[in-house]
Structure formats: C-alpha cells, structure tokens
Structure 1
Amino acid sequence: MMTNLFSSFDPTSSILSIPLNWLSTLLGILIIPLSYWLIPNRSLIIWKMMTTKLYQEFKTLLISNKNMGSSFFFISLFSMILFNNFLGLFPYIFTSSSHLTFTLSLALPLWISFMLYGWINNTQHMFAHLVPQGTPPILMPFMVCIETISNVIRPLTLAVRLAANMIAGHLLLTLLGNTGPMIMNSPILIQILILSQILLLMLELAVSIIQSYVFAVLTTLYSSEVN
C-alpha cells in the first residue's frame, strides 16, 4: 500500500533489497536485434518510416554542413526518451523519464558541450547572439543579462518540462485508480471511471510522443545556434 501519492515515483524501491529500477532504462537494447532481420515486420517498417521522416526534419534544422551525421544522434535521443516514456505507462515498471536525475543527465551534458563548442570555435557568433538585431543601444546591457539568463536555464527547462509532463499524467492516473475501491457499489461510476482512465491513457500516449519530440527538436535547435 502506498504511504504517499509520490511513492510510485520512488527510485529507492527495490526487488529483494536490490535496487533494479533504473535498469528499465536499458530495456530498449532488447529490441535492437529485431532490426537486423532481412525482412522486417510491420512495426519495424513503421518505425523506420518514422525515423526517416525525423531524419529529414532534423536535417533541415541542422543547416550547417559541419553537422553532417548529427541528426542520427538526435534521432537516437528521441528514440531513447520515447521508449522510456512508453515503458512508464505499463504497470509495475519504473518511469525513469519522470525523474530529474534522468532528464538532467541528458540535458546538462548536451548543453555544456554545445556551449563549449560555440564559445571556443565561434566566439564572435556567440557574442552576437547576446544582443538581438535592432536592439537600441540603451537597452543592450539589459538584453545581454536577459539573453544570458535564458541561455543558462535552458538545460533546466528541458529537464523540468519532460519530467513534469510525465509526472502530471501519472499522478492523474494514480488518483483516478485510487478512487476505484470507493465507488465499487456504483456500476455507473465505475464505467465512467474506466472510460476516463482509458481516455487519459490515450492522452498520456500522445504526451509521451510529443515530449520526446520536443526534447529532441529543442536540443537540435540549440546545437544549430552555436554554428
């Protein structure tokens, strides 16, 4: 029995005193051998069509020729986040993407690498980004402060956006699920509860796809800004 509403997000829960929760992040490795079959199945064909479409979109975002091949990295990032978001919708599976430990571990190293690359190789270009074009001279010091703050908080906004969206849907599902035993004597309310749970689960499926896509696209945009 849960002692707290947030117990379902507790990363310290264990199996036989062994903390194995974070291993759910690596379960996606099990589906990789399926892509080596000569004749793929229908689900793999759909997945390849989706990744091809993503590759074309990321390629347009990465305008510079220096970023040849970077789109494959961002497609892999999208795939990993999407898989972990989907896993969290199954019962008794730990949702790693709902924790800042996971999301910050993705966002912070990427942002630091972009900043180091930009300030070392394109210093003048990075200074030009601090003052938007057409800014009056009197407002330039304030714009530098605002742009610097907005740039520094980028990894935090990336991490919090993904974690908060995953936590919100899971909390709603948990709250609705906990009301089930209280209305067992009312068949109509049970039917309404089940229907609302199904609709909310469909919404969570859409949120899982959208948030992984947003994370990958924003990371791609941040990397294109430093070139």
Structure 2
Amino acid sequence: MTPVDRVLIIVPAWNEGRNVGNTVREIRETDPTYDVVVVDDGSEDDTAHIAREAGATVLSLPFNLGVGGAMRTGFTYAQRHGYHRAIQVDADGQHNPADIDRVLSGLDEADISIGARFADVGEYKVKGPRRWAMVFLARTVSRVARTRLTDVTSGFRAANQRAIGQYIAYYPTEYLGDTIDSLVAACHAGLTVTQIPVAMRARVHGNPSQGPIGSSIYLLRSVFALGLAMMRGPRRARAIAKRDER
C-alpha cells in the first residue's frame, strides 16, 4: 500500500507521557495499516520516548509551539511523504480511535471532515458560557461554510490532499487558531466541510480547564478569535493560496 492510499494519524502531544502510549497502541490496534506520527510539542516529560516505544514515528519540536504549530508540522510531514489523507487524534485519549474510519468517510464528500461532539451521539455535555460560545461559533462558521455544523472547535478532524496543502499554507498558532481560524480560512479559500457525529471519551489522566471563570474566559477569547478570523476574509485566503502555488 502506497502513502497515497494510506492514512496518516497526526497526534499532537505536549507533556502527555501518561496518555500518549495508550493512545498510539489503541490506534494501531484499531487498524494496523494506519501510520502514526506523534508531534512532541516541546514536552518536558518522556512523551517522545513513550510514543516511540508504542510504535509511532516521533517528530520532536525544540520548544512548545501549541497545537497549531504541532499540527502544521504534522501536515508538512504528510505532504512531503505523499499522504492524501490525514487526521488529528489528540494524545489525551478523548478521541476514540474506533471512530477514525467514520470521520475519514466524510472526505468522500468534502475536503475537511469534523468529528462532531454535539450531533446526537454520545453524552458529551458542556454548560454555561462555554456552551454559549460553542453554539455561537458553530452558527457563525456554519454560515461561512454554507453547511450546518455543530462543533467547530473539535480537533478530531480529517483533511484530504487539498486541505493538507491549505493547512500548510495557513495554520495559525494563536488560541483557537488551530480550530476556528484554520477552518474559516479554509472555507474562504473554497474548501468544503462536513461533520460526522462521534462520542467523545473522558480524559484518562490530567484535568481539562473548566469552572465558571475559565468558561467565561473561553467565551471572550473564542469570540475574539472568531472576529480575527472573519476580519482576515476571503481576499487574504485567496492571496495565501496564490502564494502557495508559486
């Protein structure tokens, strides 16, 4: 099987030594034909060593760039090695490897396929300001994408060859840039998006940021991130695409 036919699983990881090994093993057990690359985002623990022992190819960044920088590295690897399909799976275990094939199936009809948490599957719940922000973001980005989306902050998303090229050209590293900004820019560049319902799992080790204060901050920062993405607009997206073609 050539890289064109194979799937690259990109796992961004920062200090995920307690989770990444099990995540890589689960992916490989789900489908041994998947190629797994872990992008070690400047971790200070043994993330890289554990990922390599579990059977992943490891790309180690010299310092922490954030999810956006890690994913752009992964997409660059995908393009250089001839992959036509790539999908992000988070190292913390929340993305179920059993759903990878379902999310990839969305690429049969679109350039980008999102594994959506709020699409009548699973029991993933978010309340308060964080939920308000997610609803607002989904409705706004749905208008840009010209299709109904319920979860535009999900990192569980797949990209075809065209989307991989777009992400290499523009994949911001600022807060929510890897989800909201990259998605809006892709839509402005003419790429199509779909979503596939999935059920998220609880994080195995470590605690996600929650609480009323954190949720309120999330609301403000997400709206700000969306504003920046919308301000960049179609003109800039087309300019980036033309620059990448040169």
What is the TM-score of this pair, normalised by structure 2?
A: 0.29
Which protein has the bigger strand share?
2
CA radius of gyration, larger in: 1
TM-score (norm 1): 0.31
Q: Which has the higher helix share?
A: 1
